[in-house]
Amino acid sequence: MPWRALTLQVEAGAAEAVSDALVEAGAQSVTIEHLDRERPTLHALVGIGEDADRLVGRAAQAAGLAAAPAFTASEVADDDWVRKSQAQFPPVEIGKRLWIGPSWHAPREGRIAVRLDPGLAFGTGTHPTTQLVLGFLEARIGGGEHVLDYGCGSGILAIAAAKLGAARVDCVDVDPQALETACANARANGIKLRASLPEALPAGSYDIVVSNILAQPLIVLAPLLAARTRPGGRIVLAGILEAQAAEVAEAYAPWFDAGTRAVQEDWALVAGVRR
């Protein structure tokens, strides 16, 4: 069966969201090239009978773009696209303990395995922002912590926190589909999460609050996330370009000694301790 390959470019901050939206809209697989550039390139594989204009339009709308991006299309042969798609998601080892990978890979002995197949929500462990937060959790969670993942996407951060020993993990997202995906991924990993829309999150504070979204939403959320972090607890923020880190840290300065704690491929991790 022949397939159609669609090629398009979007702003770096929207690349992952558009990639996930393309899959949700009907693409069989999506790859991203040059994510460190201002405008990464996305390659989507779709069925030959798909209405490509409609599919890209739906994905753009779901990802919050003002207009559908231009794209080119070319026909490709059925050359084991499943194998090629799987090859795009290699396992990742984080620190000394964590292994993140899809179901068709086996973890290295002695690693805490988080199994996550690519799907409808952001977060497979390959993006630098996700790896930055995972590295923080791997280094900091010793067992017994209460953790909140605000904007959980696929649930990867919440699942990793639970597997590392957190006693309670709550996660929220504005997208009900993301919450369903996070819960399904948690079940596949043998753990339980409490997942809810933001307005349904019960009152309470946490030892660690993580949020891997984008810089501007993080700035707006500063008072809310501060209120959810107990005194002496830690805030962990990602989805932030290195050039945006100082502005994000300043927004959290009234409550935290926040600053850039790590950088990977032009993406920054901002973290701090609640006063």
User: Same CATH fold, 127-273 and 3-86?
Assistant: no
What is the structure's pLDDT at 33?
A: 82
**Does residue 119 register a pLDDT over 70?**
no
**Does residue 91 register a pLDDT over 70?**
yes
As a whole number, mean pLDDT of residues 30-46 equals 85
Greater confidence, 91 or 121? 91
pLDDT band at 120 (very low <50, low <70, confident <90, very high): very low
Range name among 140-154, 177-191, 245-259 with the lowest pLDDT average? 177-191
Closest CA to 125 of 157, 148, 85, 172: 157
Residue 206, φ and ψ in degrees, nearest 5: -135, 155
What is the structure's pLDDT at 71?
A: 96
**Does residue 94 register a pLDDT over 60?**
yes
Q: DSSP letter at 109? A: T
Q: What is the CATH number of domain 127-273?
A: 3.40.50.150
Query: Percent of the chain beyond pLDDT 70?
Result: 92
**Does residue 57 register a pLDDT over 90?**
yes
What is the structure's pLDDT at 237?
A: 98
pLDDT band at 1 (very low <50, low <70, confident <90, very high): low
**Does residue 75 register a pLDDT over 90?**
no
Closest CA to 164 of 194, 134, 131: 134
What CATH number matches the domain at 3-86, 3.60.10.10, 3.30.930.10, 3.30.70.260, 3.10.310.40? Answer: 3.30.70.260
Mean confidence (pLDDT) of the chain: 90
Alpha-carbon gap, residue 76 to 218, rounded angstroms: 41
What is the structure's pLDDT at 253?
A: 98
Helix axes 128-140, 156-164, angle to 10 degrees: 20
- Are 8 and 42 in contact by the 8 Å Cβ rule? The answer is yes
What is the structure's pLDDT at 86?
A: 57
Closest CA to 263 of 152, 136, 171: 136
pTM value surpassing 0.95: no
Exposure b/e, 41-52, CB count within 10 A at least 16 = b: ebbbbbeeebeb
Tell me the domain boundaries of the chain.
3-86, 127-273
